[in-house]
Structure 1
Amino acid sequence: MTYDPTFDQTRLDQLADQCLADNTGTGKVIFLSDDEDNRLELTSWRFEDEEAKARLMKSDFKLYLLELLDTLLVYRAQHKQPNASRGVVSVCKNQMTVQWVSRAEAERLRDL
């Protein structure tokens, strides 16, 4: 099986269509794994609007995003992609993007 460079964004777009139609918040979800199997271990949610963040955290979106991030981590590790163990999902209203970052960058963003 070959690596599909559109896999991440396609799945994020599907989740956004499913869960973010009414979202008004903007923020970032920093995630990482130190696990041998590259499974999701830690997330840090950083949103400008605490009310919007609370709505997302209480909705199905949180569970679905965590499951998706776990899948993306494993997929990238299986295909030996760079920075496969950490990234940042940017949420802007009803859209999401992912950026795969170095460990130092993930920790810097988490500590802000």
Structure 2
Amino acid sequence: MAQREAVVDGVFVALADSTRRAVISRLGHGPATVGDLAHDFPMTLPSFMKHVRTLEATGLIRTTKSGRVRTCELDRARLAVVQSWLDEQRRVWEARTDRLEQYVTDSEEHP
């Protein structure tokens, strides 16, 4: 359980940055080279590579190198861990709101 929480923490930290979220969104459409991804951002390539390394370190993306070209690909399994955590939170809050609704309904019927 602690390992899963560490993964979720890492992913949320990585996704806290708008540049990294934009990269994830773009990779949702398919693999892309670092050069293609970096083209859309007003920063130097070394600065952009810090974002790529963060995403790679958290497991959100995988990179492969062929010659001088590095290609990035989204790792959907890592996103599934976060989706699972979000689903759990949704169930908890839905149960709480269901109990609140039941309480309010019962209070109205039996003043």
Q: Same fold (TM over 0.5)?
A: no
TM-score by length of 2: 0.28
Query: How high is the TM-score relative to the length of structure 1?
Result: 0.28
Between structures 1 and 2, the one with greater helix share: 2
Q: Higher Cα Rg: structure 1 or 2?
A: 2
Using CA pairs below 8 Å that are at least 6 residues apart, which structure has the higher relative contact order? 1
Structure holding more strand per residue:
1
